[in-house]
Amino acid sequence: MGFVGRAVVALLFPGQGSQFVGMGRDLCAAHPVARATFAEADNALGFPLSQLCADGPESDLTQTHNAQPAILTHSIAVLRCVDDALGGVACAAGHSLGEFSAWVAAGSMTFADGLRTVRRRGELMMRGGEERTGTMAAVLGLEDEVVEAICRDASTDGEVCVPANYNGPGQTVISGDSAAIDRAIASARGSGARRAIRLNVSGAFHSPLMKVAESGLAERLAQVQFADPRFPVVSNVTAQPIRDAATARRLLTAQLTAPVRWTESMQAIVAMGIRRFVEVGPGTILTGLLRRIERDVESRGIGTAADIAAFVAAP
């Protein structure tokens, strides 16, 4: 599917979990700009990220501090390959880690600064998970309000359970202390959830358990030169378009412990009059979520060399 006349689009950038061994290999083989982007990442980080993306091992690539810069690099490589064919960009949004890709795409931070920041973010998140062990779970088939009540009931004075990702209608991820998550899973199943299952993650992301990582991320972001974006980026924290650098810096820190309001974010973009979305980077998870949130929009994912060829050739 092409976008007739290269109409104005919203860019979507995927988050952690979309990485895979072999990512970027076909891009680098087909596009010199993609090869240059992965080489730039290797140089900025001081280790061969491109080799890890292409060849693994998977156990290393999936580690938080490696997966985050890998996904950002893949997304920016794809974006650079299709930039001339995109037409007008109205705004962008990214899921968790993907919001950093969105700010790089909008010109608020350089690619190198974005890489080093998400590498540090991943290290801090991993350390936070080690300092206070927690987990996350997916809950399918229940309304947001029901999941919120389940989380409140599952929490105690010493154990936390909160919504972490509002991904779409009837699709919520919860996060917190392991015992509280187990109580919430049992309650969700008893409340008629279609599915309630623990996720294979290294920490309780987007929950108060990540508070220990906030100061380190804020310190890192303070060292990054931010510019106002060329186009607004919808914040995970507020689900509103952000147009200034100072607010972006503050909300990227708050994002560590705040839920990802993805459903509201997509609704906010549609409310701006945008009807065409392009997911830029590995996988098509966000394209799938968007179809559950807003059916009356056009969307496509661009993550491979074949996707790029099809997009560029489309009318």
Active-site positions read 96, 206
Q: Which of 129, 131, 178, 130 is nearest to 155 (CA)?
A: 178
Angle separating helix axes 211-222 and 245-254, nearest 10 degrees? 150
Rg of the chain taking only CA atoms, in angstroms: 19
Instruction: State the distance between the two ends of the chain, measured CA to CA, in whole angstroms.
Output: 9
The widest CA-to-CA distance across the chain, in whole angstroms, is 58
298-302 and 276-280 strand pairing: parallel
What is the amino acid identity at position 274? Answer: I
Q: How far, in Å, CA of 174 to CA of 161, rounded?
A: 7
Please give the structure tokens belonging to residue 143.
Answer: 């309304």
Preceding amide of 69 cis, omega within 30: no
Please give the structure tokens belonging to residue 239.
Answer: 């689900």
HEC-encoded secondary structure of 76-130: HHHHHHHHHHCCCEEEEEECCHHHHHHHHHCCCCCHHHHHHHHHHHHHHHHHHHH
CB-based contact 63:119 (threshold 8 Å) = no
Please give the structure tokens belonging to residue 216.
Answer: 């380190």
